[in-house]
Structure 1
Amino acid sequence: MDMYTLASSDQLKHIISTVKSEPFPDQLTVTNITLVGLEKRADDFKREHYTENYIQACFNVLKINKFFVVGGSGNEYCLNLILKIVRVGAANGIEKIYTGNRGIISRPAMSYSTVKYGCWGFLIHYIDSLVACHRSSSEERVSIDLITPEGGPIDPDTLDEIFVETQNIEEYKTINSIDRLNLSRSSNMLFKVGASELVVSVIETISEYMKVIEGMFNFDRINSLLNGSCYSRPFRIIVDCNNGGIGPYAKRIFEEELGAGKGSVINYEPSNDVRNFNTSTSENFEMKCSTCDLGASLDSDGGRCMIYGRRGFLIPSGETLSVITSHYHAIPYFLKHKFNGVSRSFFTPACVDDVTRNGSLNIVESPGSWRYFNELMGSKKVLLCEGHNFEVGSHHVGLRDGIWTILAWLSLVIHFHKPVKDIMLTHWSIYGRNYVTTYEFHDLPISKIVKVFSEMINIVFKIENLGTSSRLTCGENFKVVFADKFSYNYASKREAQSYPALKVLVEPKGRIIFRPLLEEDQGVIQIIVEVLRSDPNLPNETAVTENLFQLAMQIGKIAAGTGKNKPDFVF
């Protein structure tokens, strides 16, 4: 990569074009605490000027003037967006743009790269149903996420500035004569732009990520586990990459580096069919897990990971954080770095709370965005975090990391000499099991959602109306022991922040969360119900949480406020 490779068209002196444009009103997105970029329908980014307007707004606000990283799933759609972003970047005076081989960069690798090169990153990825389960439509959605030079998601205030800027756009700069990029191998491509030069550098992101991850785990012991050299037989794994950009990373690490058998990593080639990027409905995956010791299903950018034991036994959301916290000494990285605390999102099951209750570890309940986790880890308040929807990550990149999660579970298997399911059952025998069900009311006008939450905050949640009261629901008596809005006191820019989500704690031990999910003109009311039981083998999770859900319906006056007596979606 010391020599520049020049395509024939690159020997031209490219001319900057200023294109007149108008704002797209729908780019003034309704923001919430999880938003880290512009998320829209895939067809929206194909509209004339649409992507360029947004990228120009980013340059106007962020003042990016030298370098940035861009990449994503590596399919044809992603490559087209990379080309548009490169054109706008070149026209705005960028000197160097980094991307991965074939345009592929996973979320953890993007985080590492922005830190290494000290620049912003544009991560292009599809939204799968594991993330967007609250959407009733099956439309293809894409997000261009903004990753900071510190490796975390963009600050919500800065993102709001960008969205406001999109409504003031009158023109953008681009270079239409850059008509193709050769990203098939590591190289540097030189483009002459006026009196300046732009270098597009294709970097080995997989090798660089490997260097980070192999220092955190004992690869020799994991290799022995997977190839069976120190055990009675090989430990069989199946890693489903769902045809996303994480595929080449998983293939290299598990099959080539760690000796898992050929065919252990499946669906590893990026696909142009977005229907393949669906971790939560991967057909027959649980059946495939019946033939292996550990199964893992990764989302398209490699941030989220669902872990399965034998016969399709799924590790519930929140439990990975709980088990690792209880046995962090099983992971070499945590022996080298002080394991001082953990954090979970407001909406992640509270399994880890009991693990930390009587010990010296910090536990921080934080908003759903990894910006807050990144900030907590950067300030060394915590070392490990889990967001909702199977998002686990540690200090090594400051973002969720699915491959890290798989390696952590393999390390636990080595430490306990037990199968995945047995590790989980042993943990539940000590702490009990949190049964969680999410109920969603879809396609509600924003005005209805605002009214429901306003009445809950101003009337229902008054201490004299709710506090420490007992409620009889479906024959089960619940005592309300706490009710309040979520708040977060660790943000660097504000003394304290409040969020519209509400929580109710009850005895016998349970938790209700009321959460609004708002989009352009309508939204969803999400009710998360969590119940702790000593028996980990209750067959019907929804039956366990049903009585507490009925209490939630009473407290929130959901039927009256929404006109719906039952949820549209339960999972």
Structure 2
Amino acid sequence: MKIIVTPSQPYSDQKPGTSGLRKKVKIFQQEHYLENFVQSLFDTLVVPNDAVLVVGGDGRYHNRQAIQTIISMAAANGFTRVLIGQGGILSTPAASHVIRKYKTFGGMVLSASHNQGGIHGDFGIKYNIGNGGPAPEKITDEVFAKSKVIAEYKISDLPLVDIDTIGETQFAGAVSDQTFTVQVIDAVQDYADLMQSLFDFKAIRQLLASGFEMKFDAMHAVTGPYAKEIFVNRLGASTDSLMNCEPSEDFGGGHPDPNLTYAEELVKIMFAGENALDFGAASDGDGDRNMILGQNFFVTPSDSLAVLAANATLVPAYKNGIAGVARSMPTSGAVDRVAAKLNIPSFETPTGWKFFGNLMDAGQVTLCGEESFGTSSSHVREKDGLWAVLFWLNVIAVKQMSVEAILKAHWLEYGRNVYSRHDYEAIPTEAANSVIAHIKSQFSSLPGQVFGSYTVKLCDDFSYHDPIDGSVSNNQGIRVLFTDGSRIVFRLSGTGTEGATLRIYLEAYEPDSAKHHLDAQVALAEMIRIALQISQLVEKTGRVAPTVIT
């Protein structure tokens, strides 16, 4: 094996977002583009001797080509072994588990998550550190700094490696007594074994055999093979209970985002009146998000986290209780009410799963979640879609209650945090920034103002002081807090690749059980009007309706 030092010129746009670097495929296909970013990452990490790297992705277009490049660069940059998911496939939570199980140096996760795929779609790459979680900001900031001045990268002359056959391929290293090994693993089995160790598979199997009807939608994405192994092979579900389980480079031409808009096929099945099934769920492109549906009933991710926390002791892995909970700032405070009753700590962090890693590593929290359809626990250091689905099935199997009955009983005990998120996608960046600037210009004048039934208490741009490592993250989202505990949050998303996505989060606490049945859009109608009035979004962007409402 020869190491080839290749001259290159820096690109100015390689700043990682909340979940790595995401761009259009055509951007990644530019000469030296992927290589520059990978080299900047390797230079930041300072690879030790005998380092092992995990590599895999969600199977989207450009995944296989990128893996070959990363293998050759890993060989040239001091790694002695690379673990590859068979066919280049690894869900994001499975990648986290493999990193932790095999105690590797870290991993490259190739995904743009819930963004569209295909030759005209998106591609992404992020680095997960040795704990299995996304690299913290101090690493991604340094990677970006190096990417702006990079002058060369190192790559080896390895031939294309067979990544479809389980086993090992060894190559002679650049130094005579060294070898470089590419090991293709069956990560589906590793992950399925982990799930079986956490949940009561016997109880879930009995539930599924009792006439309980479910449907899981993999959205033509990475969780298909995992769902077949877990639901069909291990839990005895019929193959008819699964849909869209063949991974596709363009996700079947769809948008692999498990929400009420993009999972339209599943939503129609679950909202079919008397013909609706008992339980429905969907996951996203890389398998770290989930949507939970009951019979003609939608569970918000914020409520889902709260219900799982309240019922955690029904699951074998958490039968002795949970240490604490954490949520991203835009996520509703429903789980905080559960934590207060359980007398355990609750934490509010910025959006981005990396912020939960420190808390979990320190043993401060067990369950965590984001309103963007992500929920998980300390079993990995990523969001985990199938884990959440199995958690719900375990709870249903024990309680013998429907999804809707479980939610309404929860609201009766804790009250309901009525919640909704409005996404305005692909807004011209300048227009989106003008909306944010307009809201910030009112920070001093808004407090004390009355808008209908609501009085503004305070406004701020959320900052997070990490209680474990002392780091500070500023500018994490604008909050307009009202005197009754209701709130509106405005945030520019860091996961899109075209224009800007402006998200508006709306939350109002409703203790009156007589109003718990109201549709969230009806219950929040006044607050929606207030958000548009404060932001002047329609006037500044020309957008009269959200792209997605959840």
**1:501 matched to which residue of 2?**
477
Note if contact 1:470-1:479 (Cα within 8 Å) is conserved in structure 2.
yes
Matched, 1:204 2:186: yes
Give yes or no for contact 2:61–2:123 (8 Å, CA) kept in 1: no
**Paired residues for 1:343-354 under 5 Å:** 343-354=326-337
Partner residue, 2:44: 61
TM-score, normalization by structure 1: 0.86
Q: Distance in 2 between matches of 1:76 and 1:41?
A: 11
Match 2:220 to one of 225, 243, 247: 243
Q: Which amino acid aligns with 1:545?
A: L
Which residue does the alignment assign to 2:406?
A: 423
Query: How much does 1:563 deviate?
Result: 5.9
SS at match of 2:22: strand
Structure 2: distance between partners of 1:199 and 1:95: 6
Q: How far apart in 1 are the matches of 2:108 and 2:5?
A: 22
Paired position in structure 2 for 1:105: 90
Q: What is the aligned partner in structure 1 of residue 269 from structure 2?
A: 288
In structure 2, the partner of 1:19 is 6
Compared with structure 1, are the counterparts of its residues 495 and 208 closer, same or farther at alpha carbon in structure 2 (3 Å cutoff)?
A: closer
Match of residue 378, structure 2, among 395, 404, 417: 395
Alignment partner of 1:530 is 2:504: no
Q: CA deviation at 1:493?
A: 3.9
2:39–2:154 contact (8 Å) kept in structure 1: yes
Is the aligned partner of 1:124 residue 2:110?
A: yes
Equivalent position amino acid for 2:241 in 1: S
Partners of 1:273 and 1:225 in 2: CA distance: 34
Q: What amino acid is aligned across from residue 461 of structure 1 in structure 2?
A: F
Q: Is the 8 Å Cα contact of residues 99 and 200 (structure 1) preserved in structure 2?
A: yes
TM-score, with structure 2 as normaliser: 0.89
What SS class does the counterpart of residue 514 from structure 1 fall into? strand
Change (3 A) 1:444 1:256: closer
Separation in 2, partners of 1:328, 1:521: 39
* Contact map agreement 1:96 1:201 (CA 8 A) in 2: yes
Where do residues 353-432 of structure 1 align in structure 2 (5 Å cutoff)?
Answer: 353-432=336-415
* Deviation at residue 76 of structure 1 after TM alignment: 6.0
User: Contact 1:19–1:172 at 8 Å: present in 2 too?
Assistant: yes
- Structure 1 position 342, deviation (Å): 0.8
Contact 1:308 1:315 in 2 (8 A): yes
8 Å contact kept, 2:26–2:120: no
Does the CA contact (< 8 Å) of 2:87 and 2:163 recur in 1? yes
Q: Please say if residues 60 and 111 of structure 2, whose CA atoms lie closer than 8 Å, have aligned partners that are also in contact.
A: no
Work out the percentage of aligned pairs sharing the same amino acid: 28
Q: State the 1:43 CA deviation.
A: 2.0
Q: Give distance in 2, aligned partners of 1:149 and 1:399.
A: 13
Cα 1:48–1:529 change in 2 (3 A) is same
**What runs of 5+ residues in structure 1 fail to find an aligned partner?**
1-13, 133-137, 228-232
Partner amino acid, structure 2, of 1:285? L
State which of 147, 155, 159 in structure 1 corresponds to 2:128: 147
CA deviation string 1:160-179 (max 9, x = no partner): 11112112122222234x33
Deviation at 1:345, TM superposition (A): 0.5
Query: For residues 108 and 563 of structure 1, do their structure 2 counterparts lie closer, same or farther at Cα, with a shift above 3 Å needed?
Result: closer
59-68 or 297-306, larger mean C-alpha shift: 59-68
Instruction: Report how far residue 270 of structure 1 moved.
Output: 1.6
* Contact 2:359/2:468 (<8 A) preserved: no
- When structure 1 is superposed on structure 2, of 39-48 and 403-412 the one drifting more is 39-48
Secondary structure in 1 aligned to 2:463?
A: strand
Q: Any idea what SS the aligned residue of 1:543 has?
A: helix
- Inter-partner Cα distance in structure 1 for 2:546 and 2:120: 18
Where in structure 2 are there 5+ consecutive unaligned residues? Answer: none
Aligned partners of 2:503 and 2:230: how far apart in 1? Answer: 38
**How far apart, CA to CA, are the structure 1 residues paired with 2:323 and 2:164?**
43
Find the counterpart in structure 2 of residue 483 from structure 1: 459
Contact 2:463 2:476 in 1 (8 A): no
What residue number does 2:302 align with? 318
Q: 1:119 to 1:515 in 2, by over 3 A?
A: same
Deviation at 1:305, TM superposition (A): 0.8
SS of residue paired to 1:272: coil
For residues 445 and 183 of structure 1, do their structure 2 counterparts lie closer, same or farther at Cα, with a shift above 3 Å needed? closer
1:555 Cα shift? 3.6
Please state if 1:158 is matched with 2:139: yes
TM-aligned CA distance change 1:117 to 1:224, over 3 Å: same
Aligned-partner Cα distance in 2 for 1:498–1:59: 27
Q: How far does residue 445 in structure 1 lie from its aligned partner after superposition?
A: 6.0
> Hey, what does 2:294 align to over in structure 1?
309
> Which one of 197, 210, 223 corresponds to residue 215 of structure 1?
197
Please say if residues 165 and 184 of structure 2, whose CA atoms lie closer than 8 Å, have aligned partners that are also in contact.
Answer: yes
Over residues 58-104 of structure 1, what are the superposed CA-to-partner deviations in whole Å (9 max), with x where a residue is unaligned? 11111224220000124663111111110111122321000112221
Answer yes or no: is the 8 Å Cα contact 2:454–2:483 preserved in 1: yes
Shift in Å, 1:39: 0.7
Q: Distance in 1 between matches of 2:282 and 2:433?
A: 36
Q: Secondary structure at the match of 1:235?
A: coil
TM-superposed CA distance for 1:376, in Å, is 1.0
Deviates more, 1:518-527 or 1:59-68: 518-527
Q: SS where residue 95 of structure 1 aligns?
A: strand
**Cα pair 2:350 2:476 within 8 Å, conserved:** no
Matched, 1:329 2:313: yes
RMSD over aligned CA atoms reads 2.7
Residues 377-399 of structure 1: CA distance to partner in whole angstroms, max 9, x if unpaired?
11111110011211000011122
Relative to structure 1, is the Cα distance of residues 189 and 76 closer, same or farther in structure 2, using a 3 angstrom cutoff? farther
Cross-structure match for 1:11 = none
Distance 1:565 1:368, change over 3 A: closer
SS in 2 for 1:263: helix
